[in-house]
Amino acid sequence: MSRLFLADSPELSGGDYGIVAVVAVIALAALAVGYGLLREVLATGQGTERMQEIAKAVQEGAAAYLTRQRNTLAIFGAVVFVLLFFLPADDWAERIGRSIFFVVGAAFSFVIGYLGMWLATRANLRVAAAAREGGGRERALRIAFRTGGVVGLFTIGLGLFGAAVVVLVYAGEAPKVLEGFGLGAALLAMFMRVGGGIFTKAADVGADLVGKIEQGIPEDDPRNAATIADNVGDNVGDCAGMAADLFESYAVTLVAALILGSFAFGTSASGLTFPLIIPAIGVITAVIGIYITRSRAGEPGLTTINRSFYLSGLISAVLSVAAAFIFLPGQFEDPEAGVSPAVAASAAVIIGIVLAGVIMWLTGYYTAPERKPVQHVAETGRTGPATVILSGVSVGFESAVYTALVVAAAVYGAFLLSGSVLIALFLVALVGTGLLTTVGVTVAMDTFGPVADNAQGIAEMTGEIEGEGADVLVELDSVGNTTKAVTKGIAISTAVLAATALFGSYMTSINDRVESMGLTEGELPNAFSTQIVSPNTLVGVIIGACVVFMFSGLAINAVSRAAGAVVYEVRRQFKNIPGIMEGTTKPEYGRVVDLVTRDSLRELATPGLLAIFAPVAVGFGLGTGALAGYLGGAITAGVLMAVFLANSGGAWDNAKKLVEDGNHGGKGSEAHAATVIGDTVGDPFKDTAGPAINPLLKVMNLVALLIAPAVVQFSVGPDASAPVRYVIALAAVAIIVVAVVVAKRREGSISDNPAEEEARSS
């Protein structure tokens, strides 16, 4: 096992406390600015009575789903809250703080997700109303983007405030308490991502298969019983899920940076203050980026948004370099570092900001309709759905390679900045922190997508927006489609950087525990080996990759089951309720919303249990070396799988829109039918399984970090007990097996007999 340099806990002086207090005030200022933007959005017009009626149905469905999800997850959270008390800690104050801030992290994650949903379901109406008014393009874009700006500012405000409070209260012990904060944020984000993703794509796939394919009606036609559920899903999946996802990326990256920083600078408080200063700079640049987003005459909406993103990134880079030279000491604690902290930190943060820009461009290249890859996918629609699927899969595979190499280059660049492994790991965390200086604008870009999509849906369902207003909404919907894909790429990158930094935190935790027990490397058993040629480590790598594949398969299969139930329900209504196709009778929208809500919440348990108990089984069963390999395998497979799923789905989606714009025969053509099939396959790829891998990686790394001291305790020293380790491992395996078996048995919930299924749905 490699020995990393270990240090005493840092001590905060009065000036250090002042810096952290200023950071907390900046975080509160972000919340205040966000509240001001919220009032600005809500003060705009709400359109016609019919528009408000449809928007209200979406609002009620989304709120009902998230309320039921909150109640479901509260039970799960209570169990984890109790379990955290039993994990090793230096004292009871640390145990209590870790559990309490687990709840705080989970609550903040849910609040961010709920706020994203709540505001988006009200802003979509206002964007549609702005477009309906003559010449409302610039106003509609501003409302949609500032809606995302509210969520972005609350994301960075709550994340930064939570971390600052922990540092103020616990000082040098803050990193250990923050492990609970990060786990709470990541666990809730994963559940919201999985549940919201299943909801949105089950409704979307079901609506498309029956509405577009079988009945030949438009996507948001009010005659389709799944239409309201589809619009609800956009908000609980893309808004609530992505907002919670980026919040936990923000929180977990801060956790990793603070843990590694406390080791990198020893007793100096710089390791606790500097990782907070950089996100505080991100607050300032987020506000600037949001307010400078103004469309110029004749300028494409995507150009407007991209300009704001790149300008905010440039400002972040300049301010971060200045902060590094002002606040960092002359040298690291480790004499082998061989580099100035200010120079290394500046370079690391700049790498992170540049990485955000490169990922944004790269994802846009593979998913934007004006680029060659998507145009090729659309063209293959002329030869049928099979070639559409093949071309989209090819785009996903190719883009995954380039994205993974770019992220790997960023990590290796941070590694080259120092001669010390520990310092290099801290710099990797700073790369992630630098990337997250853009998170306020990133969240704004992501929320913009579903708001624009829903606004277009409201226009189509009411038929009250025509001419220039309709063209504005079509354009914004197309822009939103690209921004959603781009932000998924950035979110994946933050997940990999955070997971890599946590991986380093895991190794420092193991070494810290071993050294506290007075042991040397020669006294450790083979199970502690992290050499890749060691069989235990290689087995861990394989298992880690397998878990990513299993998790993805469970998520996609869950969408398939839930979508099948939606298909039967929508078919039943078309068949048994007279007057739906004629438009004289309203479908029973609520039945589909309830159906998808029930199925999506039922599917939450298995992926969650897999994420939590797989590291437990590997760590206690095979040892710390195998668990290190497990984390490495999961990170490697996770980045490739997440990018593949997200970009394949994004390419299929925009290829369909390209055909619907009149290319290759337009709507109703064979090419259109083929690309609709591709989009239907891609929906669970890009909006369920792919994004859910982000929090999965961080949950598994945090679980490994938390259990590491216990694994060491039962492996070596006076408390060593192989029977206890194996009992814990077998119990974890049993829980996973039962959860997977139960999930697989649900495959029979969609009957082979349509009559039986219709009777069941009735």
* CA-closest candidate to residue 124, choices 534, 457, 468, 602: 457
pLDDT score of 583: 73
Average pLDDT over residues 214-242: 77
What is the C-alpha to C-alpha distance for residues 307 and 82, in angstroms, rounded to an integer? 47
Query: How many domains, the chain?
Result: 1
Please state, in angstroms and rounded to a whole number, the distance separating the CA atoms of residues 290 and 587. 40
The Cβ of residue 755 has, within 10 Å, a number of other Cβ atoms equal to 8
pLDDT the model gives residue 380: 93
- From the number of C-beta atoms within 10 Å of its C-beta (0-12, 13-18, 19+), residue 4 rates as buried
Greater confidence (509 vs 673) lies with 673
- Give the type of residue at 599: D
Q: What is the pLDDT of residue 648?
A: 93
The set of residues, in sequence order, having a beta carbon less than 8 Å from that of 656 and lying 6+ positions away, is 378, 672, 675, 676, 678, 679
The secondary structure of the chain in percent helix, strand, coil, rounded to multiples of 5, reads 85, 0, 15
Residue 463 DSSP SS3: coil
**Cβ-based neighbours of 562, under 8 Å, separated by 6 or more:** 198, 199, 202, 206, 595, 596, 599, 600, 603
Residue predicted with more confidence, 539 or 751: 539
Among 604, 563, 599, 560, CA closest to 695: 604
Q: How many CB atoms lie within 10 A of CB 43?
A: 8
Burial class for 583, CB neighbours closer than 10 Å (0-12, 13-18, 19+): exposed
Domain range spanning residue 719?
14-509+530-761
Q: DSSP H helical segments within 133-173, as ranges?
A: 137-170
Where does residue 491 rank: exposed (0-12), middle (13-18), buried (19+ CB within 10 A)? buried
In angstroms, the Cα distances linking 161 to 150, 165, 283, 355, 418 are: 16, 6, 11, 26, 30
CB 89, CB 143: distance < 8 Å: no
- Taking 60 as the threshold, does the pLDDT of residue 680 lie above it? yes
pLDDT (0 to 100) of residue 754: 45
Q: What is the pLDDT of residue 761?
A: 46
Residue 161 falls inside a structural domain: yes
Q: Which residue shows structure tokens 């093949």?
A: 390
Residue 256 CA to residue 254 CA, distance in Å, equals 5
Least confident of 67-81, 292-306, 629-643, 722-736: 292-306
Please tell me the predicted confidence (pLDDT) of residue 727: 94
Residue pair 88/211 in contact (Cβ under 8 Å)? The answer is no
Among residues 614, 590, 264, which one has the least CA distance to residue 419? 264
Residue 586: what residue type?
K
Rounded Cα gap, residues 108 and 114, in angstroms: 10
Contact partners, residue 525, CB within 8 Å, separation at least 6: 623, 715, 716
- pLDDT reading at 402 higher than 90: yes
What six digits make up the tokens of 121? 């379901």
The closest alpha carbon to 192, from 236, 139, 162, belongs to 236
Tokens in use for 262?
């406390």
Task: Give DSSP secondary structure letters for 282-330.
Answer: HHHHHHHHHHT--PPTT--HHHHHHHHHHHHHHHHHHHHHHHHHHHS-S
Q: What is the pTM of this model?
A: 0.84
Regarding predicted confidence, which is higher, 481 or 340?
340
Q: Nearest CA to 123 among 14, 39, 236? A: 39
Q: Which two tokens stand for residue 709?
A: 């001291």
Per-residue buried b or exposed e for 613-639, using 16+ beta carbons within 10 Å of the residue's own CB = bbbbbbbbbbbbbbbbbbbbbbbbbbb
| 164 located within any domain | yes
Q: What is the pLDDT of residues 476-493, one digit of tens each?
A: 877 777 777 777 788 788
CB-count exposure of residue 60 (10 Å: 0-12, 13-18, 19+): middle
Rounded Cα distance between 379 and 376, Å, is 5
- The SS3 assignment for 437 reads helix
Per-residue DSSP letters for 4-69?
Answer: PP--PPP---HHHHHHHHHHHHHHHHHHHHHHHHHHHHHTS----HHHHHHHHHHHHHHHHHHHHH
Q: What is each CA distance from 369 to 376, 469, 478, 654, in whole angstroms?
A: 10, 22, 8, 6
Q: Between 538 and 502, name the one with better pLDDT.
A: 538
In Å, how far are 175, 667, 731 from 109, measured between CA atoms? 19, 40, 29
Dihedral over Cα of 20, 21, 24, 25: its sign: negative
Cα–Cα distance measured from residue 2 to residue 514, given in angstroms and rounded to the nearest whole number: 12
More confident residue, 333 or 726: 726
What are the structure tokens assigned to 632, written together?
């490495």
**Which of 149-153, 403-407, 521-525 shows the lowest mean pLDDT across its residues?**
521-525
So what's the pLDDT on residue 542? 93
Mean pLDDT of 560-586: 84
Report if residue 8 sits inside a domain: no
Q: What is the mean pLDDT of the chain?
A: 83
Task: Name which of 443, 473, 481 is nearest 457 in CA terms.
Answer: 473
- CB contact at 8 A, 447 and 491: no
Instruction: Please tell me the predicted confidence (pLDDT) of residue 520.
Output: 64
Q: What angle do CA 213, 660, 680 make, to 5 degrees?
A: 45
Confidence of residue 125 (pLDDT cuts 50, 70, 90): confident
Which of 676, 652, 567 lies closest to 224, judged by CA?
567
DSSP 8-state symbol, 753: S
Structural domain includes residue 1: no
- Answer whether residue 62 is part of any domain: yes
Query: Is residue 28 over pLDDT 90?
Result: yes
Q: Is 278 left (phi over 0), alpha (psi -120 to 50) or beta?
A: alpha
Highest-scoring range by mean pLDDT, 42-56, 329-343, 602-616, 626-640: 626-640
Euclidean distance between CA atoms 418 and 238, whole angstroms? 39
- What gap in Å lies between CA 439 and CA 285, rounded to an integer? 10
Whether residue 682 is contained in a domain is answered as yes
Tally of CB atoms within 10 A around 280: 24
Instruction: Look at residue 606 in the predicted model and tell me its pLDDT.
Output: 85
Interior/surface letters 378-407, b for 16+ CB within 10 angstroms, e for the rest: bbbbbeebebbbebbbbbbeebbebbbebb
User: What pLDDT score does 528 carry?
Assistant: 66
Give me 486's structure tokens.
Answer: 């781009």
Residue 753: pLDDT over 70? no
Query: Could you tell me if 435 and 353 are in contact, meaning their C-beta atoms sit under 8 angstroms apart?
Result: yes
Number of CB atoms found within 10 A of residue 722's CB: 10
Q: Is residue 655 part of a domain?
A: yes
Any residues with CB less than 8 A from the CB of 303 and at least 6 apart, and which?
A: none
DSSP letters for 266-283: TTSTHHHHHHHHHHHHHH
Per-residue exposure over 286-325, b if at least 16 CB sit within 10 Å of its own CB, e if not:
bbbbbeebebeeeeebbebbbbbbbbbbebbbebbbebbe
The answer to whether residue 524 is domain-embedded is no
Is the pLDDT assigned to residue 312 strictly greater than 70? yes
The number of residues in the chain equals 762
CB 449 within 8 A of CB 484: yes
User: Residue 526's pLDDT band (boundaries 50, 70, 90)?
Assistant: low
pLDDT at 2: 39
- Token pair, residue 6, equals 């270990």
Per-residue pLDDT tens digits for 647-660: 999 899 889 888 98
